[in-house]
Structure 1
Amino acid sequence: MKLKYTLLIMVLAIWSVLNAQPRLSDPGATKETVALFSNLFKIRQKGYLLGHQDALAYGVNWKYQKGKSDIKDVVGDYPSLYGWELGHLEIGADLNLDSVPFDKMKSFIKKGYSRGGVITLSWHGNNPLTGKSAWDAAPGSVASILPGGTKHEVFLQQLDRVAVFLSDLKGKKGESIPILFRPFHELTGHWFWWGAKTCTAEEYIRLFRFTVNYLRQDKQLHNLIIVYNTGTEFGTKTEFLERYPGDEFVDVLSFDTYQHSSQAVDTAFVTKLKHSLSVIDDVARERNKLAAVGEIGFNKIPYSDWFTQVLQPALRDHKMAYVLLWRNAGYKHQDGTTEFYAPYKGHASANNFLRYYNAPETIFQKEARTLKLYK
């Protein structure tokens, strides 16, 4: 009898987890934001949104051409997820750190949303302690901007500028455009001022919570879906959650990863990617959160079958809501390097990407529009 009772409790617990209704961490979220979050859960049964950073602003050998996108040139369709960067907004600049004018970015965001696409924003904010870039990992940076810190007011000014931009993102009916907001990302690395070697886990958690509360409560922004985004420096659920701010501050669990070491199938990269996907898949299921890949890519795509032979099979057995390819910066005059993570017309990987586009699980703009993600 006791065994039967125990088994019943276990079955009910499992049923409860599997059937729990997803809820945004913000109880005051707008109806469009709630709808998007709920629909991102639903589409995981079919596949995932495929995104591209700065997709509408520039690509390989072009910049600011109306209606253009490297991905659209290859497959005849836009990505369903548009990534943009807020870095330098906090210092009052007209251009972001990748030289995209903020007024143009705002227009691109509204265009993507009007097509039924989804918007995600990252923020490589300048270090409030030193005034230098996000990559200035000076010790004590996070401690200095927490309440009571010497640079707290500087940080508040930065947040205020970000809040003004976010509050001005409106649809045609005046509704706030839902945003997947990804602050203080790659936190497990050492290269940013909010990184693991620059602050304690407690300091990072306080920073994340303060930022979310300030934007929600003080600035009344209720169109934000909050993304917790690590690097690849984790191997277990415990390590992934070491600096986790808590369920009431996070909606999406994600990580960033790039292939670097080979021009063919890198076994080590694939093994690590599959393991990382399994970890966040498990954590997301346990906490009723979305799982996603915040950034991914293989610069210049030297292996032409990378999308169908590496990325697609790695993702196949996991419930990701979206995957974001990094930007197609093209040739960069400042350092003489070339950077692109999605194919462009004529590139050797274009035909392979078209096969990836036609896979049943990948969701691009045309299909996303039919899914009516905001209703």
Structure 2
Amino acid sequence: MKKTISALLTLFCIGVSCSSKVPSNDTKLSVSDKKATKETIILYKKMTQLAQKGILFGHQDDLAYGVNWKYEAGRSDVKDVTGDYPAVYGWDLAGLEKKSANNIDGIPFDKMRQFIKEAHARGGIITLSSHFDNPLTGKNAWDTTPKSLASALPGGESHEKFKSWLDEAAKYILTLKDENGKPIPMLYRPFHELTGNWFWWCKNNGSPEEFKILWKFTIDYLQKKGVHNLIYVYNTADFKTKEEFLEYYPGPNYADILSFDKYQHSDPTKDNSFIENCQRQFKIMDEVAKEQSKIMAFAETGYEAIPYDKWWTDTLMKAIGDYKISYILVWRNHGWQEKEQKMHYYAPYKGQLSEKDFVDFYNLDKILFEKEAAKENLYKK
């Protein structure tokens, strides 16, 4: 029934003008990297088409650990609850800049490589973020010492160091290959939440011109190093106007997917602001996406510990509304945080309060997990 209804909806959208229809003109669907691999181009076009059918569900660090477990082969909190893996898997590259064996979440990069290969082989999609350290101070990504962003630019005092970090990222990305030795197409979301004020690359720490130079230099440098399997995700935090969303935007030739991050912090049964703010931002982003023939994503979201039992089908689905977004990704299931003395997870596990609602969410026609994504053969024509 789920597949039948989805197919009918797709045919309906093809036959009439849908309000948030993703551009379907193939001539406009080329990725920004002009040397992108064939499989990368295919993935982008398939994701664009699939956005008409539904929304791919993603989870950060899904295969590495969950609540009360770590590194159990084939395990996933999402799969424990639904019987299916997420369609999108989020991983972070931070740690490579220090030549660490583990990433910022403590996952060995060797294990992460294997998880990426396994997910890709099953037909899933990989998205990469990078909480790289502050290049000026050597402190973590949350250190907002003034001039840190400018220091990484060509001519800046940290530029050579920053280039060496990109060298490490490129080397690692180039090891991510499928069973046939081909580079695995992935989404790359650098300098995420750039309209916030909590990372060294955020808007409070550099002018629009400086940020655009940093973004363009990073993308160009990776491509010069032979990385041509990335789809680039432009990602903001909050914004109130179209002008604010585009203020730091590097341009259509340097981005492929438009997105923002937004988390639920207040009780949704008493406060509707999460839904209202998401709808306002999706409306603005949808206008830009149509103008530039881009697709959209909800690149990070969630409600820590999910204390509302209907958050998935009630709050989250209302926050998305009728907008055609490619994917949503909820953050990681770390479990108990000793320092903060609280639970930290964003997808339910067996027995969690919202488990039943998450299954109902899984069964919605427009929500797609890995089994349905795999049927689309996302890397083949």
Query: Does the pair score TM above 0.5?
Result: yes
> Aligned equivalents of 2:75 and 2:88: distance in 1?
15
How far 1:172 sits from its partner (Å)?
0.4
Which region of structure 1 is more displaced relative to structure 2, 137-146 or 115-124? 137-146
Partner of 1:48: 55
User: Aligned partner of 2:360: which letter?
Assistant: R
Instruction: Give the Cα separation in 2 of the matches to 1:106 and 1:336.
Output: 31
Q: Does 1:38 align with 2:48?
A: no
Residue matched to 2:318? 313
Residues 51-92 of structure 1, C-alpha deviation per residue, up to 9 Å, x if partnerless? 000000011111101111001000000000000011111110
Report the residue type matching 2:379 in the other structure. Answer: Y
What is the identity, as a one-letter code, of the residue corresponding to 2:225?
Answer: K
Deviation at 1:285, TM superposition (A): 1.1
In the alignment, what sits opposite 1:225? 231
The corresponding residue for 2:193 is 186
Question: Is the 1:263–1:302 Cα contact (8 Å) retained in structure 2?
Answer: no
Give per-residue Cα distances to partners, 1:172-200, cap 9 Å, x unaligned.
01110011000101110111000111111
CA distance in 2 between counterparts of 1:210 and 1:220 reads 14
Provide the rounded CA distance (Å) in 2 between the counterparts of 1:198 and 1:65: 41
Secondary structure of the corresponding residue to residue 197 of structure 1? helix
Alignment map for 1:4-23 (pairs within 5 Å): 19=25, 21-23=28-30
- Per-residue deviation, residues 310-342 of structure 1 (Å, max 9, x unmatched): 111332310101000111110022332211111
Alignment of 1:153-172 (within 5 A): 153-172=160-179
Match of 2:156 in 1: 149
Kindly provide the CA deviation profile for residues 122-173 of structure 1, in whole angstroms up to 9, marking residues without a partner as x: 0000011000000000110111111111111100110000001100000001
Count of residue pairs the alignment pairs up: 358
1:328 counterpart SS class = coil
The yes-or-no answer on 1:62 pairing with 2:102 is no
Counterpart amino acid of residue 338 in structure 2: H
Rounded to whole Å, the distance in 2 between the matches of 1:374 and 1:316 is 29
What's the % identity of the aligned pairs? 50
CA distance in structure 1 between the aligned counterparts of 2:37 and 2:348, rounded to whole angstroms: 36
Q: Is contact 2:60–2:329 with CA below 8 Å preserved after alignment?
A: yes
One-letter amino acid of the counterpart of residue 373, structure 2: A
Gaps of 5+ in 2: 1-20
2:7 is matched with none
Letter in 2 for 1:129: L
Letter in 2 for 1:223: N
The offset of 1:100, in angstroms, is: 0.8
1:132 aligned to 2:139? yes
Matches for 1:304-343 after TM superposition, within 5 Å: 304-343=309-348
Describe the SS at the equivalent of 2:80.
helix
- Cα separation, 2, equivalents of 1:81 and 1:368: 9
* Matched residue type, 2:199: F
Provide Cα deviations, 1:325-365, integer angstroms capped at 9, x if missing partner: 11111002233221111110011100000000000001101
Task: State the distance in 1 between where 2:60 and 2:75 align.
Answer: 14
TM-score normalised to structure 2 length: 0.92
Query: 1:239 and 2:239 equivalent?
Result: no
- Equivalent position SS for 2:91: strand
- 2 CA distance for matches of 1:202 and 1:144? 14
Query: Partner of 2:205: helix, strand, or coil?
Result: coil
TM-score when scaled to structure 1? 0.93
- How far off its partner does 1:18 sit? 6.3
In the TM superposition, what are the counterparts of 1:339-354 in structure 2 within 5 Å?
A: 339-354=344-359
Asked if 2 retains the 8 angstrom alpha-carbon contact of 1:265 and 1:310, the reply is: no
User: Distance between the aligned counterparts of 1:325 and 1:318, measured in 2?
Assistant: 18
Q: What amino acid maps onto 1:82 in structure 2?
A: Y
Segments ≥4 residues shifted beyond 6 Å: none
- Kindly state the Cα deviation for residue 235 of structure 1 after the two structures are TM-superposed: 1.3
Letter in 1 for 2:272: T
SS at match of 1:324: strand
Distance 2:63 2:286 in 1: 30
Aligned residue for 1:291, secondary structure, equals strand
Residue 205 (structure 1) aligned with residue 212 (structure 2): yes
